[in-house]
Amino acid sequence: MLVDLLEFGFSFLILISVWLAYTNIMAILPVEDDVVVALNLALLFLVSIEPYLFYLNITFDILAHELLLDYASILYALDMAGLMLILALFTHQLAGEEKGLVPKEAITRYKRVRDVLCVSGALFAITILPIFWAVKIQSLPIRFYLWSVPLVLSSIRRVSYNESH
Q: How far apart are CA 78 and CA 49, in angstroms?
A: 11
pLDDT digits (tens, 9 = 90+) for 27-69: 888 777 888 899 999 999 999 999 999 999 988 887 788 899 9
Q: How far apart are CA 49 and CA 47, in angstroms?
A: 6
CA distances 65 to 59, 62, 68, 73, 127, Å, are: 10, 5, 5, 12, 19
pLDDT of 98 above 90: no
Give the pLDDT of residue 161.
52
How many Cβ atoms are within 10 Å of 123's Cβ, its own excluded?
18
Most confident of 3-17, 28-42, 127-141: 127-141
Model confidence, pTM: 0.88
Pick the closest to residue 68 from 133, 9, 126, 112 (CA basis).
133
